[in-house]
Structure formats: C-alpha cells, structure tokens
A and B are shown apart, each in its own frame.
Chain A
Amino acid sequence: MRKTPDLIVIGGSWGGIKASLEILQGLPEDYKIPIVLVLHRLRDQEGNLKQLFDKRLNLKVEEVEDKEAVCSGYVYIAPANYHVLLENDKSFSLDVSDLVNYSRPSIDVTFISAADTYGEGVIGILLSGASKDGSMGLKRIADAGGIALVQDPAEAEVAVMPLAAIEAVPTCSVQGLNSLKDYLLSLT
C-alpha cells in the first residue's frame, strides 16, 4: 500500500477560489494531510479569504504565520504580499522578495519549495486561473516523484493556468472538480 502523502498544495487565480472551495468543502475536520492554498488575489480581497473559507470548510483555516508548524487538520492560506516557503523541520517561512510571474504570493515559489522539502510526499493541484504561475512548480513536484493534478480546462472558469500546467507536465492527471474532491477524500 502506498504511504499517505505528507502535504497537499493547491494553486489558482481567476476562478480558483470557487474551485478550491468546491474540492475542499467535503473534507472532514480530522483530515490527515495538511493543505496549503496559494491563490492570487486582488488587493481588496485581502483578509476576507480566511473568513470565506472558514465559513464553508470543516477544516480549520489559518493565514500562514512565519515559522508556524505545518499541522494536519488545517488549510493554510498564503497571506497577501508574501511568498510561502516550507522548511525542512516542517514549518513555514515567509518571504517578501520580488514578485514571481507578477505575483506575490507565487504558486511556483511554494510548489518548488514543497517539492524540495517533501520530495515525493507532495500532491500539487492547479486549478482555474488566468496566469501561467504554478506550472513550473507542478513540474518540479512531478519530477520529485510527487503527484501532479490539474483541473480539467474544459470546466475551468479560466483555462490558462490548467492549459499551461498540462503543457509543462504532460504526465499530469487531468480531472474535474468532483473527481478531485473524491480523490482527496479517498486518501485518508
């Protein structure tokens, strides 16, 4: 039997909030795998994201704090204006260095760091979005032996992000939101 993954990282931009809510909504509060969510957002969405997810999920929702431990039962949201990195001792570090793909937080930054730190234990999921951010990171996750999942571009609100991901990681598994949700549920 395959061992349970250590970390799920999810990225999205335009349409990504709705899509990630949909796949996370059914997960139980004692879900065994910590989840990190990197969503591009407009400045005026700051702060509201935590509340938005808090209301709809069974899991606990936190904005990432610097040097906080990565724990199961949580969905961690990348804060506005910071990149999120993962340390070897399974804690978060934040970073204010330059934008990557015009974004901070950048999905690539977190995905690459997750792959470097957790290796094959990572599941990366890219959802709807109007940016190509995340596809390099997803490739790194796949190269490190992790699992690369992409929302079906046909049903994504904006297909740019999934299409870029499929091009960068031809071996990724393309799925609809319902099937992504079932997959996550089946893991623990």
Chain B
Amino acid sequence: MKHSMDVQFEQEVEQLIKDIRQHYGYDFNGYARASVYRRVKRFLANNHLQTIPELREQVFSDSFFFEGFLQEITVNVTEMFRDPAFFLSLRQNVLPMLSTYPFIKIWDAGCSTGEELFSLAILLKEEGLLDRTKIYATDINQKVLKQAKEGIFSASNIASYTSGYYASGGKQEFASYYVSNYGSLKFDSSLIKNVVFYPHNLATDSTFNEFHLILCRNVLIYFNRELQERVFTLFDDSLVDLGYLALGKKETLAMSGIFSRYAFVDKENRIHRKTG
C-alpha cells in the first residue's frame, strides 16, 4: 500500500496540473506521472520549498518562476549522436531512399537544445542532401529552441561526441564542424541554414506539414499510453506514404493502433516505414 503522505502529494500534483492548464495553457495531463512526481520533488528541493502549496504560490504569481518549473518538468537532457548505431542506420538505410526525392522535408520533434539536430544535419551534409532538405525543429520549450539555434554545446562531452560521430559512419574530421572556445563548441551555422524552429506542443497542437522523415526520440517516454497514441496519430497524419518514423531506442510503436500499417526498417534502432 502507498503511504498516505505520497497519496496526498499525488493529489496535490493532479490539482497543480489542472490549474496550470487553466492559468498558462500548458497541458501536462497526459504526462507519465512517475517522472512528473520525481521532477516536482526535485524542483521543490532545488528551490528550498517544502510543500506544493508553497510552490503554487510562486508558480501562479510569477510567470518567470513558472518558466523554470516548465524547464524542470520537460526533461531536456540530450547529446550528440546518442545511440550511434541509430545514426549509422539512418545513414545507411534511410538517407539513400530519401535521396530519390527532389526536395526532402524532415521533422525533428522534441529537438531540445539541438544536439540531435546538428548530428542529423552533419549526416545529411555528408550524404549530399543538406542543400535540398528542409528541417522543422520543434519543441514545447522555447528556451531550448533558442539554444538550438545558437549551436553552442559544452566541450565536456567532446570525447563521446567524437567517438559517436565516427561510430555513426562519419566521413570527415569531426573537428572540422565546430570551433572550440573556452569550454564550448560552436557548430558551423551553415549546417542549420535550412532549419526552421517552431514551438510546437505534441500534447495539444496539430499537424502542420507533410514529411518524409519524422524523428521523435526520448520524448514519448515522458507521456502516458493515451498521449503517446495521440502523438502517433499526429505523426501518421504528417507522414507521406513510405515516409519514415524514428523513435528512441526503448520507445515502441507496437502497442499503437497505427502499428499494423508500419514496417520495421531497423527494429533494433526503432526506425519504421509507413507502408499503407
């Protein structure tokens, strides 16, 4: 049995979620609760708050404070070439097919601070597709989108980024893509000259274009099954026939209603293709 203190905490979080939707229009109702609870507790501790009522007071009186809360709930942790085997598979199994289109449209949904986006752009460049590709990079969180546009990443991860780049089939000197400066790496901005950045909320917004490839990795793990299904339908409506859908390494389409119309291109790396 659950502890009564935990039960009370969970009830207060439910009310908080309802009131945030009312007050700010952000709908977290479909978010998987285990992570929400953990992040709320962490946010309380980091801000030296003891209780949800104390948190509410600030959240609803100070929109700047709410921004910080939003950052905490929408986990933004990301890296370049996360799962190099995925990027290698994209390079070998998907990009050659995309190259048959005169003009390619890609949606990077939940792009966070841009590490995944730049990794993708590097692949496209090396496969000769970057100039005829338009990428729509979206996230619920406007602050991370701003950072993504800058293309400045911490140099502390350079070793793992470099090995990830080569493991993903990298063909150049990785260092040719960035300039390093005081502990940070500034990536070549020409990589994102055909990228448009939009705030887009997968929980509430609709389809806005048609794409040949949609990447949405490590975003759906934060949603419950119902919201996941909404998002899968949204992606299904946004993909051309024979378009590709790439999910995170441990995210599955198998429980979804659209699954039967998709074939695995690479099961291990969760790359699917819309077949009918």
Contacts and interface: CB of A to CB of B under 8 A. Distances in A.
Interface of A: 63-67, 79, 81-82, 85-88, 93-98, 109, 112-113, 116-121, 144-145
11 contacts: A67-B224, A79-B249, A82-B221, A85-B32, A85-B38, A88-B10, A94-B250, A95-B221, A95-B222, A96-B218, A109-B38
Given A88-B33, A95-B75, A96-B75, 13 more contacts: A66-B250, A66-B252, A67-B32, A67-B225, A67-B228, A88-B34, A93-B34, A95-B221, A97-B35, A97-B75, A116-B6, A117-B2, A120-B1
B250 A82 contact: yes
Contact of B38 (A113, A121, A145): A113
A93 B32 contact: yes
B220 A66 contact: yes
Interface string B178-206: 00000000000000000000000000000
Contacts of B1: 119-121
B35 A93 contact: yes
Nearest to B2: A119
Contacts of B35: 85, 93, 95, 97
Interface of B: 1-3, 6, 10, 32-35, 37-39, 75, 77-78, 82, 218, 220-222, 224-225, 228, 248-252, 255
A85 B42 CA distance: 15
In the A-B complex, the 9 residue pairs with the closest CB atoms? A85-B34, A93-B32, A97-B75, A94-B221, A119-B2, A66-B221, A119-B1, A93-B34, A87-B34
A93 B249 CA distance: 13
Nearest to A88: B33
A144 B3 contact: yes
Contacts of A94: 221, 250
Contacts of B77: 96-98
Most interface-central of B34, B225, B249 (chain A CB within 10 A): B34
A73 B187 CA distance: 49
Given A96-B221, A98-B77, A116-B6, A86 B251 contact: no
Contacts of A112: 38
Contacts of B255: 67
Contacts of A93: 32, 34-35, 221-222
